[in-house]
């Protein structure tokens, strides 16, 4: 297992909450856990640090950071701008199959609003598909980089039944606008969706 593989394994562990903000990342412990030498662990941690997903703290070594109030605001501000733009571009460039996949996700999510874990995974897939439908590789790269910051936030904005149901219908509104070819409406719907998620996130602090 090389450094790149270790990096992706660590990302997965953070996403799954096996590793949480505040946890220490000890090279020796990770090497033993993955059954590898410290060299690929060190490489993986360096890449994690370069992405802002690990920091050095005095007397603690490498740890997974916790985002503060201002950082959360900054992340959601950029999400609103970038994902709003992605939705607007999707209304112009998305193919029929891409739109159908987004609609299928919405239809499936309406049936699983009571299953938080399943909805969280589907929500991640919806946003990934939405960004890909923009057909702008540079925008997709920027959003993916920003998404990595989201995994540092505790919990999910889909914790409450009300937010789960509202979020799914907000997704539906985005897809409808994209299917109609309305760039302005799609961008506005996506921005509203992220703004609501932002408010929910701040209420959880």
Instruction: State the CATH class of domain 1-62.
Output: mainly alpha
More confident position, 87 or 18: 87
pLDDT tens column, 163-172:
999 999 999 9
Alpha carbon distance 19, 11 (integer Å): 9
- Taking the CB of residue 161, how many other CB atoms lie within 10 A of it? 11
Domain boundaries, the chain: 1-62, 67-202
Does residue 176 register a pLDDT over 90? yes
Helix (H) or strand (E) holding 11: helix 3-15
| Shared fold status for 1-62 and 67-202 | no
Q: What are phi and psi of 172, to 5 degrees?
A: -60, -40
Instruction: Give the mean pLDDT of 116-136.
Output: 95
pLDDT at 19 over 80: yes
**Helix 161-179 with 69-93: angle, nearest 10 deg:** 30
**Average pLDDT of every residue of the chain:** 93
pLDDT in tens, 44-90: 999 999 988 999 988 888 999 988 999 999 999 999 999 999 999 99
> Per-residue pLDDT for 16 more than 90?
no
CATH 1.20.120.530 correct for 67-202: yes
């Amino acid at each position: 297992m090389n450094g790149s593989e270790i990096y992706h394994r660590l990302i997965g562990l953070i996403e799954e909450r096996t590793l949480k903000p505040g946890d220490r990342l000890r090279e020796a412990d990770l090497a033993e856990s993955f059954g590898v030498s410290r060299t690929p662990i060190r490489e993986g941690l360096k890449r994690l640090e370069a992405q802002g997903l690990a920091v050095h703290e005095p007397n603690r070594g490498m740890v997974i950071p916790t985002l503060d109030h201002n950082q959360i605001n900054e992340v959601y501000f950029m999400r609103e701008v970038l994902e709003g733009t992605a939705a607007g571009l999707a209304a112009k460039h998305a193919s029929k199959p891409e739109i159908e996949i987004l609609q299928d996700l919405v239809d499936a999510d309406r049936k699983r609003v009571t299953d938080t874990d399943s909805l969280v995974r589907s929500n991640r897939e919806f946003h990934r598909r939405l960004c890909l439908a923009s057909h702008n590789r540079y925008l997709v790269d920027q959003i993916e980089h920003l998404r990595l910051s989201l995994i540092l936030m505790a919990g999910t904005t889909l914790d409450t039944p009300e937010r789960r149901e509202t979020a799914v219908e907000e997704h539906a509104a985005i897809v409808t606008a994209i299917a109609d070819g309305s760039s302005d409406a799609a961008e506005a719907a996506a921005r509203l969706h992220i703004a609501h998620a932002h408010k929910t996130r701040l209420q959880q602090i």
